[in-house]
Amino acid sequence: MKDRMGDRKVSILREHHSLNRHPERVKDPAFTSGNSFFDPRDLVQVKYEMLRRVSKEGWTVTEAARSFGLSRPSFYEAQAGFNASGMMGLLPERPGPRGPHKLTDEVLDFVQGIRTKDPSMPASSVAKMVRDKFGFMVHPGSIRRALLHRQKKRIGGENSSEQQLSN
């Protein structure tokens, strides 16, 4: 039963991007004494305890970072996140792009120019024109979403040409 619970916890930690990739680096006695409450695989718990040791027990940042298997920059990042958002600030950000990396303002300006000249042109044709001009493929649905997002951002959420973007 314990193994299945451990596997489940690892799965949940991984799903939330809070599985410590190097639990073996955590040398703090609370985590190495066999106490089941402290889990070196739980990155949020590791970061919290590291912050607590510095804040409440007077450890140096270097000492705490070393004991918890993290770097000093990781300590300061965790501290800033915690100060700004509490425990939620200790959750790692999701990996991957933070936005549309192909659909830059230049590309969207080009697409909007095409749409202005021919509002009925299908997004698939616009995607082909983007490929021809910029040299990369963009899914037609990505173009529609990016234009819709841009329009909502510019006019405060009103969407007078949603019909135009659905082609």
Closest CA to 150 of 95, 122, 97, 111: 111
Closest CA to 144 of 129, 162, 159: 162
Query: DSSP labels for 72-87?
Result: HHHHHHHHHHHHHHGG
d(C-alpha 58, C-alpha 13), whole Å: 29
Query: pLDDT at residue 6 above 50?
Result: yes
Give the global pTM. Answer: 0.57
- Check if the beta carbon of residue 52 is closer than 8 Å to that of residue 32: no
**Confidence at 101, pLDDT banded by 50, 70, 90:** confident
Q: What pLDDT does 34 receive?
A: 85
- CA angle 92–93–98, rounded 5-degree value: 165
Domain ranges in the chain are 2-90, 105-165
Which of 48-57, 105-114, 145-154 is the least confident region?
145-154
d(C-alpha 14, C-alpha 12), whole Å: 5
